[in-house]
């Protein structure tokens, strides 16, 4: 046994025991974090404006602190950019995580001295939990891909600024640096296709044991490796045993990824964002992601149907229920207060608190009152694909609103790895699955308000070409599963098969 895997085992066991202990103190940990946040926040510009000095309970907190989106928080970010201290949190941020917003343009999310450990330690803990539970520590001896955005940081008001993954790259422990691929120089490449080719160049002859990235990126990487060698991934990297992924639901990509690999490998799902590292898969045996309840973030949950209401119901962790769909709201030691991150989640258990990500608050279809969400379309497609042994490369769904009564419908754009023998029959299965999953959609079909869905096949690599055409190919960029308008659909129509 090599030294890294040998030393990692006792540390993994120590961390794992602490995490399991924390499962039973989650509510108390959350209450302590809220007290800490209020205590520090009272002396900030935001805290003074909202009267945090008079807040002593959660009920008083939610009365004082409104639910915000980035646009509503922007004036405070602008104050930080102007050089002011103690605006959202004590002092000034040590970084801005730069990310793209659908309505806000570029967003600058603060990362503070207090919050950086949430990003670093949570990723580490996900790997250590896996190691402690499975006993597999040998991957620590091989080469590992931690794909990141460019680690080159610009300065905004003298604050280092860049993509979160590029910022985190600067904090990878020294003992992992010698295992890390691709090289720093390759990670600095902005053009995705150039970067992908360089990553393949640097890894194709290495002993890769762990590969980390969002599923669409991993599939592109595997495709390029197969194109160059004609081999399955298991034959190129015989010791490859762990995939770390997040950002999108893994299930629609799973069959194709495992087919490309040629064997099943263990997966570790994570739920990171620029605003915080919220949850990670702590067990290979239990479904769902363990909520990060003791890492500087106080979580709130709003019933998803109320997220756009003026005064939505707000729940702390102790009041959530299994099976309910919630919009996730965070308050953190990065200086985010009542912040709607835009994701929806559903708890699978509350002892411990494990959840799944069900979609985005802005990614739904309700052009006709149906409020179809990401979880429902992914389930409907996955069920139909499994029944017919069909592999899906990518897909998205949008409404088509016709001026003629009864002629509107949902349009599904799907890029198949292997196309169904009968597209019409496959479309009927999709439609039936969605009708069973969403009663409002079923009512609209039954009432002849909507036609059954239309399936539009997308040509090979059509989604890649689409993302390239809008300048969002690669990295952490992903295709929205659902849109409530035709902006994506009208462009994708040009990438069809025929």
Question: Mind spelling out the 3-state secondary structure of 345-384?
Answer: EEEEEECCEEEEEEEECCEEECCCCCCEEHHHHHHHHHHH
Of the candidates 277, 249, 254, which has an alpha carbon nearest to the alpha carbon of residue 479? Answer: 249
> What was the pLDDT predicted at 227?
94
**pLDDT over 70 at 167, yes or no:** yes
- Is residue 374 within 8 Å of residue 481, measured between CB atoms? yes
Among the CATH numbers 1.10.10, 3.30.420, 3.30.300, 3.40.50, which is that of 364-495? 3.30.300
Decide if pLDDT at 351 tops 70.
Answer: yes
Res 291 pLDDT > 60: yes
Residue owning tokens 């499994």 = 386
Query: Is residue 101 predicted with pLDDT exceeding 60?
Result: no
Quick check: 3 pLDDT over 50? no
More confident call, 447 vs 61: 61
Is pTM beyond 0.85 here?
no
Contact 309, 361 (CB under 8 A): no
Q: What is the mean pLDDT of residues 410-417?
A: 94
User: Stretch 367-374: mean pLDDT, rounded?
Assistant: 80
How much is the average pLDDT of 375-382? 90
Strand order in the sheet with 154-156: 105-111, 95-101, 159-162, 154-156
What is the percent of the chain where pLDDT is above 70?
Answer: 95
Lowest mean pLDDT among 219-233, 421-435, 478-492: 478-492
pLDDT bucket at 340, cuts 50 / 70 / 90: very high
Residue 44, pLDDT > 90, answer yes
Query: What is the model's pLDDT at position 469?
Result: 86
User: What is the rounded average pLDDT of the residues 462-468?
Assistant: 89
The Cα–Cα gap between 156 and 317 comes to 36
Q: Rounded mean pLDDT of 426-453?
A: 89
Quote the pLDDT of residue 216. 79
Own/partner long-range contacts of 16-23 (Cβ < 8 Å, ≥24 apart): 16/128, 16/129, 16/132, 16/133, 19/125, 19/129, 19/282, 19/290, 22/293, 22/294, 23/290, 23/351, 23/352, 23/353
Give the integer Cα–Cα distance in Å for 415 and 463: 7
The sign of the CA dihedral 206, 211, 217, 220 is positive
Q: What is the pLDDT of residue 103?
A: 47
Contact 76, 84 (CB under 8 A): no
pLDDT above 80: residue 307: yes
Confidence band of 405 (pLDDT split at 50, 70, 90): low
Which range has the worst mean pLDDT, 92-106, 114-128, 459-473? Answer: 92-106
Is the pLDDT assigned to residue 147 strictly greater than 80?
A: no
Residue boundaries of the structural domains of the chain: 1-361, 364-495
pLDDT at 372 over 60: yes
Q: CA-CA distance, 396 to 496, in Å (whole number)? A: 13
For residues 330 and 300, is the Cβ–Cβ distance under 8 A? yes
Grouping H, G, I as helix, E, B as strand and the rest as coil, residue 27 is: helix
Confidence bin at 102 (pLDDT 50/70/90): very low
Return the residue matching tokens 């190919």. 473
Arithmetic mean of pLDDT over the chain: 90
Q: What is the pLDDT of residue 193?
A: 84
Across the range 264-289, mean pLDDT stands at: 95
For domain 1-361, give the fold: Rossmann fold (3.40.50)
pLDDT of residue 1: 43
Kindly report which listed range (78-82, 86-90, 309-313) carries the lowest average pLDDT score.
309-313
For 190-265, where are the E strands, in sequence order?
A: 208-212, 242-246
Contact 151, 166 (CB under 8 A): yes
Q: Which of 13-17, 249-253, 419-423 has the lowest mean pLDDT?
A: 249-253
Least confident window among 166-180, 200-214, 297-311, 367-381: 166-180
Summarize pLDDT for 211-250 with one digit per residue, the tens. 998 887 888 899 999 999 999 999 999 999 999 998 777 8
Highest mean pLDDT among 97-106, 127-136, 142-151, 469-478: 127-136
- pLDDT at residue 496 greater than cutoff 70: yes
């Amino acid at each position: 046994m090599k030294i890294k895997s040998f030393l990692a085992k006792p540390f993994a066991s120590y961390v794992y025991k602490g995490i399991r202990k924390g499962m039973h103190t989650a509510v108390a940990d959350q209450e302590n974090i809220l007290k800490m946040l209020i205590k520090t926040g009272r002396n900030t510009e935001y805290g003074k404006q909202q009267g945090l000095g008079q807040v002593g309970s959660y009920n008083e907190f939610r009365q004082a602190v409104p639910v915000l989106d980035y646009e509503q928080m922007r004036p405070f970010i602008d104050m930080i950019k102007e050089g002011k201290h103690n605006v959202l949190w004590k002092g000034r941020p040590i970084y801005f995580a730069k990310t793209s917003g659908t309505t806000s343009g570029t967003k600058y999310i603060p990362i503070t001295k207090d919050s950086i450990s949430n990003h670093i330690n949570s990723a580490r803990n996900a790997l250590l939990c896996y190691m402690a539970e499975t006993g597999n520590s040998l991957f620590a001896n091989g080469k590992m891909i931690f794909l990141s955005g460019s680690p080159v940081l610009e300065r905004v008001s003298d604050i280092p600024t860049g993509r979160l993954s590029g910022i985190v790259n600067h904090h990878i422990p020294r003992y992992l640096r010698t295992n890390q691929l691709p090289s720093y120089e390759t990670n600095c490449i902005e053009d995705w296709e150039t970067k992908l080719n360089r990553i393949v160049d640097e890894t194709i002859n290495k002993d890769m044991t762990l590969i980390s990235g969002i599923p669409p990126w991993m599939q592109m990487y595997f495709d390029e490796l197969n194109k160059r060698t004609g081999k399955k991934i298991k034959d190129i990297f015989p010791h490859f045993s762990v995939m770390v992924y997040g950002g999108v639901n893994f299930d629609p990509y799973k069959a194709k990824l495992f087919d490309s690999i040629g064997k099943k490998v263990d997966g570790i799902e994570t739920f990171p964002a620029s605003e915080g590292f919220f949850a990670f898969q702590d067990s290979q045996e239990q479904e769902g992601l363990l909520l990060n309840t003791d890492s500087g973030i106080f979580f709130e949950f709003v019933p998803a149907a109320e997220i756009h209401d003026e005064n939505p119901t707000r729940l702390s962790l102790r009041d959530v229920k299994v099976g309910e769909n919630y919009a996730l709201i965070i308050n953190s030691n990065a200086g985010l207060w009542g912040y709607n991150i835009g994701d929806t989640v559903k708890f699978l258990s509350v002892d411990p608190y494990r959840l799944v990500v069900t979609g985005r608050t802005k990614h739904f279809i309700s052009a006709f009152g149906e409020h179809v969400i990401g979880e429902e379309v992914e389930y409907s497609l996955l069920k139909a694909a499994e029944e017919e042994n069909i592999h899906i490369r990518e897909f998205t769904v949008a409404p088509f609103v016709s001026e003629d009564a009864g002629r509107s419908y949902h349009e599904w754009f799907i890029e198949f790895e292997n196309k169904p023998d009968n597209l019409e029959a496959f479309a009927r299965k999709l439609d039936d699955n969605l009708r069973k999953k969403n009663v409002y959609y079923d009512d609209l079909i039954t009432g002849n308000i909507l036609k059954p869905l239309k399936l539009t096949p997308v040509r090979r690599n059509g989604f890649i070409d689409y993302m390239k055409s809008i300048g969002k190919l690669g990295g952490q960029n992903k295709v929205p599963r659902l849109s409530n308008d035709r902006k994506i659909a009208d462009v994708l129509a040009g990438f069809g098969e025929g």
